[in-house]
Amino acid sequence: MSITDSFIAEMQMEAATTRRLLECVPDGKMDWQPHPRAMSLGRLVHHVAEVPGMAVMFEADTFDTANFPAPQSAASAAAAIATMEEAVAAGVAALGRVDDAKAMGNFTLTNGDRALMTMPRVALYRAIMLNHWYHHRGQLSTYLRILDVKLPSIYGPSADVNPFA
């Protein structure tokens, strides 16, 4: 088993959980924000959907932050789910192309000529891709709770689906 095989399995498992959460997003609330400095619901939903595809940018040895795409907002839950399915497929394919030596090799994030960080890809997959994804998925569950949306099970029954809550 390669180093990235565990990331692929985890990504595929967590995609099912993320999909359940995205299915709960109310389409008519995409402009809603819990605070003026917070992302809109539509922006957050799109970001949650796109994160698994970040594995593609880690195939290179460097990435310049000037090349980050402009933030987008999901038009609907269905659009976000389609974006996530494409991102997971792209992420799984990218991880499948990385052998153990490359996974252990360094990746550098730059801003023009200035290096912002350098770390082994294996740490990057965990911190910037998967943990980042879970962080924003948790943020999304908080947005949905504030909007009084019933939450699905994530790592166990939520108060909305637990008959003993």
DSSP summary character for residue 34: S
Considering the domain 3-146, what is its CATH architecture? Up-down Bundle (1.20)
Tell me the per-residue pLDDT of 69-86, one tens digit each, with 9 for 90 and over.
899 999 999 999 999 999
Residues whose CB is less than 8 angstroms from the CB of residue 136 and which lie 6 or more positions away in sequence, other chains included: 44, 47, 48, 51
Res. 160 pLDDT band, cuts 50 70 90: confident
Statement: residue 165 has pLDDT above 70: no
Statement: residue 27 has pLDDT above 70: yes
Least reliable range by pLDDT among 13-22, 38-47, 58-67 = 58-67
Tell me the per-residue pLDDT of 109-139, one tens digit each, with 9 for 90 and over.
999 999 999 999 999 999 989 999 999 999 9
Token reading at 142: 């908080």
